[in-house]
A and B are shown apart, each in its own frame.
Chain A
Amino acid sequence: MGIAWIVLEAPALLFRTLAAIIMNAAVPAAVALFAILLTSSTQAAPLPAPAPLPAPHEGEHQQIERATRMIAEEPGDAALYLQRARLYRLHGEFDPALADIELAARLDPEIGDLDIVRSELYLALGWDRSARVVLDRFLARNPGNGPALVSSARLHVKTGDPGAALGEYDRAIPLLERPTPEHYLERAEAASALGEAYVERAIAGLDQGIARLGPAVTLVLAAMDLELAAGRFDPALARIRGLAAQSQRRERWLAREGEILSAAGRRSEALGVFRECRTVIDALPPAQRGSQSMIDLGARVDARIDELE
C-alpha cells in the first residue's frame, strides 16, 4: 500500500466506513448525518460526494432485504456480507457497501472475492488509486484471474495508461472462459490510443477475436475502421463485402462500400456501388423500404450519387 494512498484516501475510507457502520446500526438520523458531515470535513483530498440514496425499488431492494435476512440468520458468513456489498454498490449505496466489505474482511480476511468486490466499489467511488492498490494485491495472489486482469486493464485505461492496459488485456483475454466482443474492442482501443505504430496490433487483436468468436459485426466494423484509418482500402473493402455476404439485405453494406471507394478516390466505382445500393433499396418490399432507417439511408445514398455524378 503506497504512501500516497495512506495520506490521501485512507482517512476518508476509515471515516466513511465508520459512518456507514453507524448508519447500519440504525442510530438516529442526526447521528448518521453528523457522521457523514464528519467524514466530508476530514477528507484530505477531494472525493466524490456521497451518492444520494435512491428511493427503494422492489427488485434490488428485495435482494438487499433478502441478503440482510440471510445475514441475520448467519451473521458469521463473510460471503453474505460481500454479496450484500455488491448489491449495495449496484444500488448506488456506497457507504453501507463499504461497511459490509469491512465486516466481511474482519470475519474472513482470506475470503476469495474480497479484493475484487473492494476494487469494484472503489472504482464506482472514483477512488482509482485505492482500486489500483487492491487490484494489484489481488493479482499478485491470483495472476491468472482473467476478470481481475480485465478490471485492471480498464482501470489503466481510465487512468490514462493504455500501454499498461494493452498488456493486461493481452494477459486477460486468453484466460477468460467466455470472452465477448467488448473485450477485444477495448483492447483494440487501448492499442489504437498508443498511436499509429500500434494499429497493426489493434487489427491483429480484433482478428483474434473474429477467429475465436466468429465474424461478429462489431469486431469486423472496428477492424474495417482501423484499416481505413491506416489507408488500407482493399482490406477494408474485403471486410465490408464479407458482412454483405452474410446479411439477408445488402443495402447498408453497399452504402459503406461506396463510402470506402469514395474515400479511396475510386469515384466511378463508388458511383456504381451507390447506384446499385439505390436499386437495392428501391427493390425492397414496401415495409422495409419505408422504414425510417431506409429512408435515411436512401437520402444519404442519393446525396452521394449527386456529388459523384
Chain B
Amino acid sequence: MNRFTRPERMRIVLVPLLLAFLLIASGTAGTPDAGAADLVPAGAAWKYLDDGSDMGTIWSNPAFLDTLWASGPAQLGYGDGDEATTVGYGPDPNLKYVTTYFRHSFTVADPGSHPQLYLGLLRDDGAVIYLNGTEVARSNMPAGTITYTTFASSAVAAAEENAWLWFTVDPGLLATGTNVLAVEIHQSSPTSSDISFDLQLNDEPAAFVSRGPYLQLGTPDAVTVRWRTLDPTDSRVAYGLSPLSLNLFTDDPVLTSEHEVRLTGLEPATRYYYSIGSTAETFAGGDVDHFFQTSPPAGAEPPLRVWLLGDSGTANADAAAVRDAYYAFTGATHTDLWLMLGDNAYNSGTDVGYQAAVFDMYPEMLRRSVLWSTRGNHEMSTSVYYGQFTFPTGGEAGGLPSGTEAYYAFDFANIHFICLDSTGASLDPGSPMLTWLESDLASTAQTWIVAFWHHPPYTKGSHDSDSTTDSDGRMVQVRENVLPLLEAGGVDLVFSGHSHSYERSFLLDGHYDFSWTLDPSMILDGGDGRIDGSGAYAKTTAPRRGAVYCVAGSSGKLGGGLLNHPAMFISLNSLGSVVLDADATRLDVQFLNSSGVVSDYFTLLTEQVIPATVGAVFTCIPDSGTLPFSTDMWVTLQNSYSGTPRTIAAAIDADLASGRHYASWRRGFTNVAAGGEFTTSWVQQMPALGALIGPNSFTLHAEDVTPAPYNQPPYPPSGDTATASCTVTGVAP
C-alpha cells in the first residue's frame, strides 16, 4: 500500500494535477481533481432530490441527468439544526419521505494516481453509496434489494449522528474525467425527526488512521500509544527528544487495526516527540504536534495541570464550546493528564459514539496528554469501553494492583489518583472494590489523594442523591459505603459527574446520610475556600481533615435541577469543565464555563511544618476561687519560608499534683513573620484549687499548623516543647 505523506504525494501527482487544472479551466463540471488530498471534500455541494419519488435504480447511473435537482453544500438534512442545507421531507411530519437522493460529480485526471480510496460517511439513519453506478458501501441498511420505501435498519441518535464512518473503495472504479457519487439516505421510520448526510472521498494516508493516536497508562518511565487504522498493519512508534530526531522506536509485528504499543525505558518528566505507523511507513506524527510527557517521579512536586470533563459525550456544539474554552484558557500550558468522569459518549457508549464524542472531539488533547477515565451509566458496552482504553490492573502506575481496569489507582507527582467504578462494581461494604480501596488508601505515600467516579454522593442537579431509587440507589451507596473509607484514608478531593451541572461543596467530613441530616459539625470549613475570600481550605494533620466534593457533569449538556444541596458552597447550571492545578503545597481548582469564564475556584493548602522552638515561664497566682496561671510563651521559627504567614498553635499540657492530666489547646500566634521570634501570654484557667495543691508540672507545646486549622491539631502535638513547674501551696477550699 502506498501511504505517502502529503508533500510526497503532491510531488507524485504534480503532472496529473496540472492536467486536471487544464480540464477544469476548459469548463468541466463538478469538483476538480484535488489530487493528493480530497477527491470529494466534506462540505462539498451536492445535487439532491427530496420529493419522495421512486427513482428506481437509474438515478445512480453516472449518465443520469440531475440538472433539475436542487443543490446545496453538505451537511444536508433536517431536524438537527446543524445542516448547511436543509432538505424537505414532505407535507406530513408524521409521514416523512423514506428516501432522499444525492449526487455529486467530480473530475479525475488520472485514476492511476489514486491507488487507494477511502470514503468517509456521515449518515442518519441509513445510506447506500454508489460510485459510477456501482454500489461501494452500505451503512445501517438491510441486506438485499433496496427500494425507495426501505427503512434503515435502526434509528441513529446522539453522538452517532455526527460520527464519520470509513470505508475502503476499489480505486479501479474511478474513471478518467467525470465521476459520479450517488447516495440514497433512508429514514428509519416515517416519524423520525431527522436525517443527516455528508461524505468525503480521499486517498490521503491521514484518513488511514481513523482513530488517534491517543495516550494511555502514562508512568514516569512508560506510556502506551494507541491508534486505529482502516486496514491491518504491523505497528511502530518512533520517538525521540526532537521531532527531527525520532531515533528510537518500538515495534509490534502483529497485524492489527487496533494498535497498542507500550514504550518503556523512558526518562521521567521528559517530553518525547513521536510518530505512528508500520515498519514500512509513517502514518502520522513526527512533528511538533505529536508529543507526550512522561510523568514526574512519584512524590515529586512540580507544578502540574489536570483537565476534568464530566458527561461530555454529546459530540455537539456544547461539548465543542467547553473544549474550546479550555484550549483557549490553557494556551501553551501543557495539560499533564486529563480525566473523563463517565458518560463520555452518548447515548450508549458505542464504538461509533466514542468516535464522534471522544476521538473526533479531542484529537489534539488525545495525542499529547494521557487520558484516564471512569465508566458512566451510559457506557453500556463494556467491550467497547474496556477494549479501547488501557488502564492499570497490576499497580503499574503506582496504586495497589486491582486486577481490573474498572477501578484502579495511579500516581502523578505528589498526587495519588483513585478511579472507582460506581456503575458496574458492587458498592457493598466488604465488596472487592471497597476492599481494594481501603488497602490502596493505606498504601499510598503521596501528599494528595484525588478520587473520581461517576455517581456523585451529593447532588441536587439532574439527579438527586437523596433518592434511593435514582440511579438504582448508587449515589446513596457511594455516600454510605465509599465516603467513610475515603475520608478515613485522608482523601482531599472527589470528582463525579452524572448530574449535568457543576456543584461544589464546602470542606466536609462525616456526612454520609441524606442532605437533611447535614450537621454544622460536618462542615469543617464553611467558607468559600478562596485565598482572596474567606481563606483556603486547609489540609491539616487532624484525623478528620475533610474533603471537597465536586460534581462536574456539565461538559456536554445541562440538566438543571433544584441545585440546592446544603453541602454545596456553589451550584451552577452552566456548561463547563474543571481545571486542577497542583504544586508542592496547594491544589487549585477552577470551574471554567463554556464562555471561558472562571465561575468558581477554591484552594486546598497542605500543612507545611516549619520547625519551631518554644519557651515558657509560668507564674502561679493562686487565689481562693479558680486558679489562674499567668503564662508567658515564646516561639521561634527555625527556618525561613515563603508564602503565607504562619499560624502557630500552642497547647498547655499539665500533670497536676492530684494526678489529673489536663490539656488545652490555644491558638496563640497567627500571622507570624518569617524567621521571627514572637511571644504571647495568656491566663489559663485551671481546675479547682484542690486539684493543684502540691507540685504540678506543665508542658507547653508549639506547633506550626499553617494554614489555620479548623479544629485542634492531633494530640499529643509533634512540635517543640518547653517545660515548667509550679508548686501550689495552700488549703483546698
Contacts and interface: CB of A to CB of B under 8 A. Distances in A.
Interface of A: 54-55, 57-60, 63, 66, 69-70, 72-75, 77, 79-80, 90-92, 177-178, 180-182, 185, 209, 213-219, 221, 243, 246-249, 251-252, 286-297
Contacts of B500: 58
A139 to B, nearest CB: 20
A185 to B, nearest CB: 6
B211 interface: no
Contacts of B543: 290-292, 295
Contact of B462 (A59, A80, A289, A290): A59
Contact of A219 (B403, B426, B463): B403
A251 B469 CA distance: 40
Interface of B: 151, 153-155, 157-158, 187-189, 191-192, 298, 347-348, 377-378, 382-383, 386, 393-395, 398, 400-406, 425-426, 432, 435-436, 438-447, 462-464, 467, 469-472, 487-490, 498, 500, 539-545, 559, 606-607, 609, 714, 718
B386 A178 contact: yes
27 contacts: A54-B469, A55-B469, A57-B462, A57-B464, A57-B469, A63-B348, A70-B155, A72-B189, A79-B154, A91-B472, A92-B469, A185-B432, A216-B394, A217-B439, A218-B403, A218-B432, A218-B435, A246-B395, A246-B400, A247-B400, A248-B298, A248-B398, A249-B442, A251-B442, A292-B489, A293-B442, A294-B442
B471 A216 contact: no
A57 B151 contact: no
Contact of A292 (B187, B436, B469, B544): B544
Nearest to A256: B439
B395 to A, nearest CB: 6
A122 to B, nearest CB: 18
Nearest to A92: B469
Given A70-B155, A287-B607, A293-B442, A182 B432 contact: yes
| Shortest 3 CB-CB contacts between residues of A and residues of B | A216-B403, A54-B469, A73-B189
Contact of A80 (B154, B158, B395, B406): B154
A213 B401 CA distance: 9
A246 to B, nearest CB: 6
B469 A217 contact: no
A58 B403 contact: no
Contact of A181 (B402, B439, B442): B402
A248 B469 CA distance: 39
Contacts of B151: 74
Given A58-B559, A217-B402, A217-B435, A288 B490 contact: yes
B442 A286 contact: no
B405 to A, nearest CB: 8
Given A60-B471, A218-B435, 9 more contacts: A59-B377, A59-B498, A91-B472, A178-B405, A182-B432, A214-B393, A214-B401, A216-B436, A219-B403
B706 to A, nearest CB: 12
B154 A289 contact: no
Contact of A221 (B187, B377, B395, B435): B435
Contacts of B487: 292
Nearest to B402: A216
Contact of B406 (A55, A63, A75, A180): A180
A53 to B, nearest CB: 9
B471 A215 contact: no
Contacts of B542: 290
B541 A54 contact: no
Given A57-B470, A63-B347, A286 B541 contact: yes
A221 to B, nearest CB: 7
Given A251-B442, A286-B609, A291-B490, A213 B463 contact: no
Contact of B157 (A70, A218, A292): A70
A73 B471 contact: no
Contacts of A60: 377, 471
A213 B377 contact: no
B432 A292 contact: no
A66 to B, nearest CB: 6
A213 B442 contact: no
A287 B539 contact: yes
Contacts of B298: 248
Contacts of A216: 393-394, 401-404, 436
Given A182-B426, A247-B443, A248-B444, A214 B470 contact: no
A182 B382 CA distance: 15
Contacts of B463: 57-59
A55 B395 contact: no
B188 A74 contact: yes
Given A72-B191, A217-B435, A293-B489, A249 B406 contact: no
Contacts of A79: 154
Nearest to A293: B488
A177 B347 CA distance: 24
Contacts of B488: 291-293, 296
Contacts of A178: 382, 386, 405
Nearest to B440: A217
A57 B436 contact: no
Contacts of A182: 404, 425-426, 432
Contacts of B426: 182
Contacts of A248: 298, 398, 443-446
A209 B488 CA distance: 30
